[in-house]
Every structure is written in structure tokens, then in C-alpha cells.
Chain A
Amino acid sequence: MTLLSIRGLDKSFAGARALAGAALEVRAGEVHALMGENGAGKSTLIKVLAGVVKPDAGVIEMAGIPVAIATPADALNLGLRFIHQELSVVPHLSVAENIFLGRDYPRRWGLMIDWDGLNNAAAEVLSGLGVDHIRPGRKMARLTVGDQMLVKIAAAFGDAGRTAARLYVMDEPTAALSAEESRRLFAVIRRLRAEGAGIIYVSHRLDEVMELADRLTVLRDGATVATREVAGLDKREVIELMIGRSLAEGYPPRLAAIAEDVALKVEHLSTGMLDDVSFEVRKGEILGFAGLEGAGQSEAIRAIAGADGGHDGTVSLAGKPVKIHEPVSAWAKGLAFLPRERQQEGLVASASIAGNVSLPHLDDLLRFGLVLDRRAEAEQAVELGRKVKLKASGPRQKVRELSGGNQQKVVFARAIAGDPQVLLLDEPTRGVDVGARYDIHTLLRQLTAEGKAVVLASSDLPELVYMADRIVVFRGGKVAATVATAGLDQATLAALCFGSA
């Protein structure tokens, strides 16, 4: 029986198309994996189902009846339940209270809470899911993340006050779980499936999907590429379905040759997340960082930029060892850092374009060593804005008024303002529209032609294959491989990331 059917779903954000005719069909009693690269449209589709994002066009049917999901409450009433990797639990309440949160607790004499009754009811819900190792009276905070996830599912499952749960949407539920915890979660998921619920399962972990899912649907560039039975499918086919975008998508050509001189050399870099990472980047070279989410690419860039404090190992710039334990010394030594999260880590949204560009370089803009030279600051912003092809009304325009692509160009203008020798870029084109993306790629070519060295961490495999000269592949905090991009195909790179080559 078809539980959920989505057809022709369209959604654009500020001109960028997130969903372009996406379709998905989930049966009752099946685990249906939703696959795709970052930016393929998975999370937008889920947000549409959750009533958080309103689609521009498309049909959603539950059990054959067209439905409108305008608010999260609508989604709940239709029997949809969402389990995210970021858990919204109340840590200092008990397991039982978290399960019954937002509903009336059982009472004694109509007044006092019947704690025994509450705990028993919670235990019943938990054991209904085959979970016997969690005591309902325990404080949520004392549970492991995996057990908290199970409690969260129990809360969604036992939600008798509303429409019974029919379809669970799980977005990367195992991202923070241990193998043992994942195993428990899978047991619960199989139980939900046996009881006739549908499960939409989103995960980057291909092995998990192959083990758990009955069917899978692959999204690419906002459209559904294929829906397949998992049985009889192999991992390579799935990867090819995910990345198989036409190679014709424009990337600007390389402008100049790579120099011999090593700009940045990293030896035996180790932190809590990284284990003995070594690599080097030459002047004029783009070194790509590839890997699954959390495999160490971002951590390595942050460690070199001093964003997370100290680290073990040696970092050398142009042959000289340097100590960088905070971002201020990275900037001072000619390392420019572009953080992953533009809004949280990159921009001061309340400040102007010029104010954001000048932030690491204020000491170069002083008169008499004291007074900020606003005119020079504005001129700098205008000049660099031109270089990064920024579209804005002027250097004093507030950054919050710009589109995502233009905001990212502001962060780029800041990065190149101090004439750095090395650029550390963490997902520089994520959430950026196609036009701005091309501008950024062109800028990277220009910078390398000027002799700058670039480290480019990206989860966009085509971007790495076409822009980088060599790629370091991270797996579990270690360097799993270093490969040249000449002759490299995306499927091979993806297989290296997944560790199934």
C-alpha cells in the first residue's frame, strides 16, 4: 500500500532551485532511503513534509488523499514524525517525562502527578519498541546519545494524544551514534516497519542504507533520478546515481602552472579529531580535501587556522615552522581562513560590507596608528568587491541585506584583503547560487595564477575533481589517500571517501 506519494515538487530560494519536480513514493511497512549529495534537495524535501518550507508547486498525498502541510502541526496531525540528528530533549527531566512531554501526565486525586503511573506507561511504550535497557525514571542527561534517540522515537511513537504515527522521517539519525547504539536503533526501526509504519531514512552512510533499506530514491539537483529496490543493487551503482551529473557543468580552466615552492607544509598534525595528518600545498596549487561529513577535512583546516586552539605537529609556511594557536596569528602570518558556516562563523550581519571586509585588517587602516581611516576602508571594500564580482549598492550596505552568494563574496573579499599567501577554504560554495559559484571558481583560478596556495575542503565531488590539482581524502580523522585529479573520476573519488574502493 502506498503511504506517501509526492509528485512534481518545486521550490526555489532567492532564485536558486532547491527542488525541481522531485518525486517520492513510500509504502507502508518499508524503510525507504533518501539519497543524494549535499544540496541535492533532501533536506528541502524533508522540510516541506515537516511543514517548515512551503513548496512552489507539487502534490503530496497520504494514503491516496491529497493533503496540504502548511504548518508543523499539520504534519503531526497527518501522522508524520521527525527524528533529527540534533535531538530536542529536555536533559534534566526524566525519560518518562520526555516521552510524555506536552501531554497530560497521569494524576492521582486529579491533582498530584502519579509518578509510578507515568513511569509504568513510559516503560510500556519503550518495551513496545523492544527497548528494555532504559529505566523510565532516569534523567535524560545521563543517557547516551543513542539512548536519547530511542527515547525520542518512543515519544513520537507513543504519541497517542494526536494522530497515530504512520510515517517516520529520520535525518542522519546515526551521525552521532556508536556501532552498538546504531544496532539498537536499527532493531527499533525494523520493529516500526513490522508494525506497518513507513520510514524515510536519510543517511550518508551507504553501508547502513544497504543493510536497512528496502528501496531507495536518489535526488540530484532537486529532481528524482531513480527509485530502486535495494536488493541486488551494489554500492557503486548508488554512488554513480548520486553524482552522475553531466560533466559539462562549467568550471573555469586553469590559468597558469603550479610553482615548485611549497607554500604550506603540514606534518603529523594531530588533535582530538585528527590523527597524524600530513600534506603540502605548493604556490599556485589548489589542494582539495574530500571525505564524508566529519571525517577530518574541516577539522584539519580549523586546526591550521588556529580556530580550535592548540594541536600537535608542525605547520610550516614557505619553509618556516610557525605556531598558530589562535585565528589572529593565522591572519598575521598570511593565512586567510574562510569558515564553513557563513552566518554563524563568517559574517557580522549587523555590520556593513566594508566593516566585514576590514575586520582582520583594521591595523592596516589606521591614521596616526589610532584613528580608523573610513575612506580607505570603503575604498578597500569597493576595490575587492570588484575583484570578487560583488553585487551591492555600496560599501556601507549592510551584509544582512545581501543574497547568500554575495555574502560569501564578502567573506572572500575579507580573505584576500591582506594579500595572504595561503587560503584555507571550508566549503566555500555551499549554499551559493550557480552564478556566484562560477564567480568564486574563477576567483580561485585567478588567485592561484597570482601564486597563492589554496586548500579547498568541499563535499561537492565534481567541484573537487574539476577545481583541485590534488585531493587529500580523509577518513576517520586520518589521511586515507592523496590522489592527483588528472584522470580521476568522481565515482573513484566517492568510493575513496566511503572507503569501499
Chain B
Amino acid sequence: MLSALKTYGTLIGFLLVVAFFAIEIPDTFMTAKNWLNISQQVSMLAVVAFTMTIVMAMGDFDLSVGSMASLAGIVAALAFRDGQAVWMGVMLALVVGLLGGLLNGALIAYVGILPFVATLGTLTVYSGLAFLVSGGKTIFGRDIPQVFSGFARAGLPLSGTVSLPALTILAALVLAAVWFTLEQTAFGRRLYAIGGNKEAARLAGIRVKRLRFLAFGLSGLGAATAGLMYASRVASANPTQGSGLMLDAIAAVFLGMTMSEEGEPHVLATLVGVMILGVLGNGLTQMSIDSYVREVLIGTIIVLAVASSSLGKARG
């Protein structure tokens, strides 16, 4: 019973949350339209959480993803305002994300700073840069090209009334890419080995430093992608709009980790974590419950999930 709770507790919790909202909001919650809506709402968080799973597989963290998402949005918007083509702005933002991530990786792998400290530092730096280059102002309106903001409104029509949002499709592609990387390649296997035992991995011939460096680059790239998705969705960019992503992303990975026997993060489990957060947000909003209540609930759920899984481990 306890071991079942350990592995499936989080999944059962998710189903209970879904069942609760299905009963409380009978007319709108269990509809295709609402679920597609949820998928779009969580798509940015999902992308950050998926790439966060890559660094957490090594036992590391990236606290800078939120401010990197903001910075990437600002960079793209500034490029647009400067008259650059859409693809150019998007490329620039992604390059900034990749470089920012690699900087984290270099500080952690080659300089030897703890991930918590290094990314806490760059969190502040990237956030400050976002304010600096934007002058602290939101960039919106005519500065943001129609093509760019139109992406978040586009979708693949499924029937007369509903369509699969482009943002959802993008998140699914990132999910597939991260799943392939972590579960199917030697690169992913090496990351999990580092997470399991860094010293043993190094002595077994794994280039621990290089892999940590690269993995943080991917996390930065994911954060920048999420920042672009956000900017597209709200057709504007401001220097704080990604700031909520980091805690939710780490929370989602943690929720997923409780589903693994070894406490390893796996990206499909992270997806469950993301959906728990997304469904809660969606359902509580529909029930017109204050967003602060959502925060209290999410925090409680994380503590409960991790507690049940570690209690299960202690006995099992």
C-alpha cells in the first residue's frame, strides 16, 4: 500500500484534482475546449519545466530560467522595434538564451560554483539586463509584428469549434525532443549517471564538466523559447513577465520526481507535474477562487507529494 502510494501517489492526486473540478464545474471543465485551453496555458511553463528536467537529471538546478525568459522576450521585442525581421528577432533571443545558459554552465562546471549560487547570481544579472535594455518599459503595440503575435493565436483546426493551439504543439515538440535526448541517447544516460554519482561517473570516463556545461545551455535555450512564447501570447514584452516560471518549473519537476522509484526526474513525469499545476490554476480560476489560494494549495501539494514519497522510501 505504501509502495503504491510512493509511486502512484502523485498520479492519484492528479486524478483526484481532475475529478474534483469535473464535479464542481460540471458544464465547462471536462470539455475538449477547456483541456486545449489548459494545454495552451501551461505550454510556457511546460517548456521551461521540460528543459529544467535536463539539468535536474544531473542533480543540479537552474534558478535563472524565469529572468532568462523575460530577457529573451525583451531582446526579441527590441529587435522587432529596431525593424529586424521576425526570424532575426527570434534567433537573437534564442542565442541569448543559449549563451546565458552556457554562462551558467561554465560558472558551475568549470569555475566550480554551486548551481544554486551561480544561477541565483545570473538570475539577478539577467533580470537586471532585461530592465536595462528595455529601460524598464513594456514593449507592445505596433512594435510587435502581427506575424509574431499571430503565432500564439494560430492553431491546427480539429473540428468546427476547437483547434490545437500552436503553443501546445510547440510544447509537445519540446517534450518529444527532451524525452528523446534524456531517455534514448547516450547523452541522456550520462546525465542520469552524473545525477546518480558524479565521482563514479567521472572515473568511468564521463566528461562531467562538459556535459554540465552543455546541459545548462539547453536549459537556457528552453527558458528563451518560453520567453518568446509568452511574448507572442501577450503580444508584448516586459522585463518581469517570465519571473513566475522558475518556481513553478522546479515544482513541476519535483512533483514528477515523486513518481520515480529512484527519485530521478523524468520528463514524462514532469509533464504530470506541469498538468497538476495547470489544472489547479485553470479550475480555481473558473471557480473564481483567489489566486493566492492557488499558491497555498500548490505549495501544500508539493510538500505532501514529496513527503508521501520520502515516507514510502523510508519504509520501503
Contact = CB atoms under 8 A, between A and B. Distances in A.
Contacts of B206: 328, 359-360
Interface in A362-376: 362-363, 365-366, 370-372
B185 A359 contact: no
A351 B188 CA distance: 13
Size range of the chain A interface in the assembly: 20 to 34
Given A355-B193, A372-B186, A372-B189, A328 B205 contact: yes
Interface residues of B, number: 23
Contact of A371 (B185, B197, B262): B185
Contact of B193 (A330, A337, A348, A365): A348
A326 B199 CA distance: 12
A363 B185 CA distance: 10
B207 interface: yes
A91 B264 CA distance: 34
Nearest to A330: B205
Interface SS majority for chain B = helix
Nearest to B204: A359
B197 A327 contact: no
A344 interface: yes
A366 B188 CA distance: 13
Interface in A281-335: 305, 307, 326-328, 330-332
Given A327-B202, A328-B206, A360-B204, A349 B186 contact: no
B203 interface: yes
Nearest to B183: A372
A66 to B, nearest CB: 34
Nearest to A414: B204
Contacts of A365: 186
Given A365-B186, A370-B185, A372-B185, A351 B203 contact: no
A355 B189 contact: yes
A137 interface: no
B185 A351 contact: no
Contact of A345 (B188, B200, B207): B200
B199 A359 contact: no
A355 B201 CA distance: 11
Interface in A331-360: 331-332, 337, 339, 344-351, 355, 358-360
Contact of A347 (B184, B186, B197): B197
Nearest to A398: B262
B186 A363 contact: yes
Contacts of B193: 348, 351, 355, 359
A377 B197 CA distance: 20
Nearest to B184: A371
B6 interface: no
A358 B206 CA distance: 11
B212 to A, nearest CB: 14
B201 A348 contact: yes
Contact of A360 (B197, B205, B264): B205
B205 A331 contact: yes
Residue from B192, B196, B207, B262 with most neighbouring chain A CB atoms (10 Å): B196
Interface of A: 305, 307, 326-328, 330-332, 337, 339, 344-351, 355, 358-360, 362-363, 365-366, 370-372, 398, 414
Which 8 A-B pairs give the minimum distances between C-beta atoms? Answer: A348-B196, A331-B205, A362-B186, A360-B205, A359-B204, A350-B262, A328-B205, A350-B196
Interface of B: 184-186, 188-190, 192-193, 195-197, 199-207, 262-264
21 contacts: A327-B204, A328-B205, A344-B200, A345-B203, A347-B197, A348-B192, A348-B197, A349-B196, A350-B262, A350-B264, A355-B189, A355-B193, A358-B189, A359-B201, A359-B204, A359-B205, A362-B190, A372-B186, A372-B188, A372-B189, A398-B262
